[in-house]
Amino acid sequence: MTVKGTVLFDRVQESAELDRGLGAIRDGLSSVLVLRGEAGIGKSALLDYAASQASDMQPAGSGGIGRSYRRAG
């Protein structure tokens, strides 16, 4: 699957979930999208995919939180 030059590898389940959520919104339901995980696993690529599939919609808001952890010791 390619989205705006980004190749999504092995993301069939995740993109299907995004498609279902966007479909629910188109049917008049509300929805929240939360992507979380380790750095470098493709969260931004999934967001690009969702944005490309939702070009007919306008998000109510968005945000992100970066966390840094220190190991004790």
Q: Tell which wins on pLDDT, 4 or 39.
A: 39
pLDDT score at 3: 52
- What single-letter amino acid sits at 61? G
DSSP 54: T
What's the alpha-carbon Rg for the chain, to the nearest Å?
14
Query: Average pLDDT, whole number, for the chain?
Result: 79
* Range in 10-14, 31-35, 59-63 the model is least confident about: 59-63
CB atoms within 10 A of CB 45: 19
Q: Do residues 7 and 19 make contact, with C-beta atoms less than 8 angstroms apart? A: no
How far, CA to CA in Å, does 20 sit from each of 12, 14, 33, 60, 71? Answer: 12, 10, 11, 18, 39
Residue 43 has pLDDT above 70, yes or no: yes
Give the rounded percent of residues in the chain with a pLDDT score beyond 90.
18
Count of residues in the chain: 73
